[in-house]
Amino acid sequence: MRSIHPIIEDEPDIAAAYAYPAGGCLRVNMVASADGAAWLAGRSGGLSGGGDRRIFGVLRGLADVILVGAGTVRTEGYGPARPRESWAGLRAGRPPAPPIAVVSRTLDLDFGGPLFTECAPGARTIVITSAAAPADRRAAAAERADVLIAGEEMVDVAAAVRLLRERGLTRILCEGGPVLNAELAAAGLIDELALTISPMLTGGDAARILNGAATVTPLALVHVLEEDGFLFCRYRREAR
């Protein structure tokens, strides 16, 4: 891997390149094809490569919490984040792995699956839902997860982010999907975007990394890394 912007450098320190600013921020991490598709054959993994997977791991190690939508949990077969030896220095003073926080209005989740039964110590899965969620599903969720109520009928993503920060989880890594990303963008909550551009054209009807109402969030390019034709871009929201 090499840095090609703003400096030319071989084998850059990935953790330093993606270090969170003081006080944390909400960072979205996504992969897209060169023509903008957010998935291939229904899953993002088909767009990925070795460098992307390494950066994915470092971003998780840096984060306090991983925020993800329920649809992505089901489609991608999410389990808990597993502790890694390489995270030891990144997570000093924190649990060995970050918890997963799942946004779900209906709570259509498998509470007997690994995401809820195989969490690392100190990284119990968090479920963020609304007050209108079915009572029986809320009770089932509470047996295996920490349940946060954000909003009345629908999940209020601004309230969800505020509740995570109140728990001291200020370095938030959102892994999508595109619908959740669009809701965060519409609420003005995305501070950074880590975008992998995959060197392929896919066509088809896959969503872009934002799939929702049109919004404009001006971004400033922080860096570009490259490996095997993949581009790894870090953007920061421009000051308003």
pLDDT band at 240 (very low <50, low <70, confident <90, very high): low
- pLDDT tens profile 1-21: 999 999 999 999 999 999 999
Q: What is the CA radius of gyration of the chain?
A: 17
Q: Which pLDDT value is given to residue 44? A: 85
By C-alpha distance, which of 45, 57, 80, 26 is closest to 198?
45
Q: What would the mean pLDDT of 44-66 be, rounded to a whole number?
A: 95
Q: What is the pLDDT of residues 157-182, one digit of tens each?
A: 999 999 999 999 999 999 999 999 99
Nearest alpha carbon to residue 196 among 234, 160, 162: 234
- The pLDDT of residue 4 is 98
Residue range 128-133: mean pLDDT, rounded: 98
- Going by pLDDT thresholds of 50, 70 and 90, the confidence category of residue 151 is very high
Domains of the chain: 23-204+220-237 (3.40.430.10)
Say how many CA atoms lie within 13 Å of 37 toward its Cβ: 21
Instruction: For residue 30, list its beta bridge partners.
Output: 195
- Please give the model's pTM, rounded to 2 decimal places: 0.96
